[in-house]
Each structure stands twice: as C-alpha cells, then as structure tokens.
Structure 1
Amino acid sequence: MAGLLPDQDPTLFLLACLAPAPRALEAWSTWRARHGPAEGMGGAQRSLRSLSAVLACSLLEAGASLDRHDATWLRAAQLHEQRRTERYQEIAAAVLASLSAAGLPFLLARGAAVAEGVLPKPWLRHCHDLDLLVPESHLDRASEVLVQSGLREEASADAGRAFLHRRLLPVRLHPKPLPSPFFGPLLEDLQVRARQATILGTSLLLPSADDLLLHVCCHAACRGGRTSLRWVSDAHAIVVQSEEIDWSRLRTTAADHGLSAQLAVTLGYLAHDIGTPIPSTLLEALAADASRADGLERELLIHAARLGEGGHFGTLWQAVGARSRISLARWLLVPDGAYLKRLEASPSPSGSQLLLRHWHSRLTAAPSALARLAFQGSP
C-alpha cells in the first residue's frame, strides 16, 4: 500500500547502494543527474544520509566514474562511519557486558543485530541506538543494572524501557518484538529459535535469520516504511548474507500472527524493486495468505500506511486508487472493533464506547484534516 514503501527516487538511491555493479552504476547515474548530494539527502529524503557509507562502498568497489567532489564526500562518509562505529561499539560492548554479567536474558535486535551479526563490515550499518529484546519479567532488573552502569532512564513511548548513555546513545529494552497495536511472535518463541553468538566480547542470543527478517520488515511496516529506509538495506543484507533462511517457518510465523500482508508488501518490494533474491514461491504464498486477511489485519495495514504518510489521512487518501479508498473510508468511519481494542492501552470498554470515542477523535481532527486537503489541492 502507499505509505509503506519508498517511491521511485529513493528506490534509485537504494539500487545504487545494494544492486550488482552494472545496475548500481546506472541507478546512481540517474539519481545523481537529478540531485546534488546535499540537496538529494535533505528534507523528506534525509534518511538517505544514513546510507552514505553503503553507497560509498558500493560505488567505489564497482569502480564508478566519479568527479572529484563526489569521490571526496563518499570517501569522507565512509571514513566517518568507520570512526563512528568504533565509538558505538565501545558503548554497546559495555552495555551488553553489564547485562550479561548480571545473568539477564536478552536478544540483540534490529540494527545492532544486523550490523554485528549479519554484515561482514559493521560500519556499513549506521546505528544510532541499541535495541534489546528482554523478557517482561526481567525488565525491572535489567533497568536497575543499566542505571547502576550510569545510564539515565527516560520516558518510553511503548511498554518497554528507555535509557540514555552519558555519551548520548539511546538504549531501549523491549518486551515484545513489535510495537503496539501490532502483535507479533512472542519473545519466548524467538529465544527458542535464536542462535548463540559472541558479539563485542559478550556471548548472547541473536534472532534466527527468518525471525530477524520478519522483525526488520514488519517493524518497518508497523512504523511506516518511508520514515527510515535502513530497513531495506537491513532486510537485503539478511537475505544475501545469511547461510540459510527457513522460508517455510517465516511464512508460518507471519500467518500465525496476522503479519502476512505486511511481509508480502515489504518482501515484494525487495524482490521486485531491489532485486533481493527471495523465492517466488514464498511471495506467492504470502500474497495468498494476505488475500485471506481478516478485518483486523487489513486495518492494521492501513494504520501502518497512515504512519508512513506522517500520520496524515488526507495524504494517504490522495495517494491511493478508488478501490483502496473504500477500505480507507470504512476504516475511518466504522473500524473493526478488534482494531479499536488494540489501540487501547488500558482495559477496553465496550465496543459501542470505543466507537463513540473513535468518532469523537475523528470529528476533533476533521477541521485540520480538511484544511490540509484544501491546501494540498490548491494551485
């Protein structure tokens, strides 16, 4: 759906980063003809900046014909990320060691798991935080350990705990792989399938390749995949660098937790637009599973697509066709009761109360939404 995936321009940039040499060079030539680096990586496309080192590695290894300006900033971006990664690893190593010394169970997640557990060169993944999956029963103790290690606890936007290292690195502990209102596999299931690895001097658990791929793709879909494009390079790396992926288990996990649609959208983009080698049989199976999605799954997908458009319903409305607008109108006016309950952080009231509350919030937001639509439609 619109709002979940990068559009044509950032896709060219991603191809320059990830595709084999001939296609990467062609994509770079097309993108560079439209943009200077500073302009092309600013504004709405500022998330491209975090892929500068990946781009540099791709183009320099492919022997791209670069003018002096481009060659200079690409080499500078590569060197900057290498030095930055050394500082990141120093902080992350201390955090991981403190939790391990306390005997606490945890899994390395998201960007750090890709950088340290998948990529041959960790500096190819720009990491600006450290995400760990910690069983809920151990959250309090893990928090105590981090505070004793000098981290400052901060407000958290979800059910987890958030901390800030004195060198300004955010550290987050999550009891669930996916944010509310999305449900994913239980952390206990990920632990059973995880593999043991030594990362930055600490023996710990890394999610299996299929679980990490599901985590990266569905987290991006849940948050709106345009917000950050690092999920594309992360997922591509997992597929390309992993020795073996249990594709059958990946499909089953997605189907069991109502994530087939999100996975079909994200993996479909990777396969068709980026050229990531994903089995066509899996894509067909996911599409079939997604076609049987219930009302809750469809409305969660709309929820994610709206996040991808900055939370603006009007922008999403303008981006889709007539058929999708019927689903959007239903979601706006009479959403599925199970979806409304997912949005409730506290014990849920009755279905009628939830619907009344939903209508009230929509009416409250209507004037600003209409004004935004009018502005976007003006010449």
Structure 2
Amino acid sequence: MNVPVWIWLATVAGLIVLLAIDLVVVDRKPHEVTVGEAARWVTFYIACAVLFGIGIWIFSGGTFAGEYFAGYITEYSLSVDNLFIFLVIMSAFSVPVIHQHKVLLVGIVLALVLRGIFIAVGAAAISQFSWVFYVFGAFLVYTAVKLSKSNLGKEGEEDYEENRVTKWARKLFPVTDEYHDGKTFTRINGKRFATPMFIVMIAIGSADLMFAVDSIPAIFGLTKEPFLVFAANAFALMGLRQLYFLLGGLLRRLVYLSIGLAVILGFIGVKMILEALHTNALPFINGGQPLNVPTVGIELSLSVIIGVLVITAVASLLKTRKDGRRETVATGGAPAPHGTPTTLGAPADPEANPAADEPREPAERRQ
C-alpha cells in the first residue's frame, strides 16, 4: 500500500479538526455528559471511521479496507478494556462528574501521540527483522492466557494502585488535596501546586499507554500497513471517552469480556505465528526455509472477531439478567444496581464520606 505523504498529513489534519470540534462543542463549558449526548458523539465517530474505511475500499481495494475494519473493530473492542481502568481511576480520585470528559480527552490525546511513536517503532522493527512476528505472536498468546484468568470489571478487582509514572509526578510537584475547578495547576500563597486533576490525567494517559503494549502487536497481526494501523488506532481512541459515558453501568454487565478479548488476542497471536512460519527465514527453523502451513485470511479474521464480540456481549447480558432475577427472588426485592452513568467516578453516597467536604490545607507532598 503506497500512501503519499500528503495523505498522511491530510489524515492527521482531519483528526486534529475532529479534536478541535470536540473541544469547542463538548469542552466549551464543563458539564455532566448525558447518555443522549454521548450516544450522538459515539455515532458520529463511528460514522467517521466507517466513511474512512469506505474511502480505503474505493481507492485501495477491498483487501486493505478489510484489514482496516478488522483492525478498527479489534482496537475498539480492546478499548473497552481501557474503560474499566478509567472507571477505577475516576472512582479512586473522586473526579467531579463535570470534569471527567476533560480528563479523558487529555489522557486520550496523550495516548494517541505515544501510540503513534509505538506504531513507527513497530513498523520499522517488522520491516527489518522477520523474527518480530514470532515475538509478537507469542506475546499475544501469553496475554490471552493471562487475560482469560482475570476478573475484568468484577467486584474485588477494582483497587487502584498508582503506577511509577504517577508516583514520580507526585514527587516532582507538590499536590493539593482538593480540586480547583478544572485547573491542573494553581497558586496558593504564591507557591505553585499541581492539583489532583493533573495527577488523574497522568494516571489515565500512562494506563492507556500500557494497553498499547497489547493492542499494537494485535493490529500488526491483522495488517502490516503502518497507515492502516495508525488510522484504526486513532479512530478507536477518538470516540473512547464518549463510549465511557454511554456504556456507564453496562460495563459491569460485560462479565465475559475478558474471555472474549482473550479469544481474539489468542486467535491473532496464532495467526501471526502461522504467517511467520509461512515466510520463515530463521536458520534454526526448517533450515531457514518457509514451512507449508495454513494461513488465515483477512475475511476469516474479520468474521472471527465480529462473531466472538457478538457472542461475548449476548452471553454477558444473558448471564447478568439471569443473576439479577435470582437476586430478586432471593431478596424479595429489586436487585442491586450495577451502577449508573451519572455516578461514574463520583462517590455513590456523599454522606458516606463527610470529611470529603471539609476544607483541608494543601499538602506539600502526598506520599
């Protein structure tokens, strides 16, 4: 796929325009994002992604369009994994609801820039070293096994522990104990302080970067074209924060999501290893000669990915509905709610933490 420089520049410029529109319309005034508003934005971003794929189909053919759509759907589904972490971080830092969309935007923009760097490095490595596909494939299979054993989104798996980047930021800047509207930095008695808003943005951005370690190898298993990898990642991330508000409490109902994502990652990992064997050049494998092994086409890949996601979603909703009915019968009343979009990241009961409203002196450093 020969992509001229001007196409790259036009694509990046278009993404910047989308971000600018988002900033002007959504972030013009801090507010609580409603489900209706989130639904409209998610529809808009999905429509943009689909139109982009149709453009690829028209100008570059169905094969590349299929690779783009397979990559986009995979990245979008893996991004739901990110949303659980976002939910945990927002709750841990008690981010005010009206500022959550700003936190997500900054974190996602940072992740998009860093993923672009990851993609460039990955593409260069693949073009120079044939053994990279073996490494990527084995890593995805390992990640799939690990993910299948996790309890993604379930109670008891939601404790947040700050990573090294976040702890380093706390050591670098003194942090206030309270939010100061949407400010990331403020001055108190002439001294400059970071606010919890700044720390949350660092936490969101660094957490999403960790997910790139899984998602970038996964999409390279579906297409080797850096342009398609970048575009699929960009469109998946662009609508991520609206998806956060749209799904709301539904996140906790996707009880089989980790299994579904594990199947997808494992499938792509095996696909990469088969392709590496089919074009093998490593001297210690079959004397450096390719092996006559079957390979997986993009049509089958796209079918498997969509099929697994549909089965996962339906099975999850049926399971939680069945559990809800059992709970209703057992308690003689309504089942406990799984959470609502309006309370994401905010304390469920203000009375449960009366000290939260009491003024406190800013801490020089929070250990």
> TM class, shorter-chain normalised?
under 0.3
Q: Which has the higher helix share?
A: 2
Q: Which has the higher strand share?
A: 1
Q: TM-score, normalised by structure 2?
A: 0.23
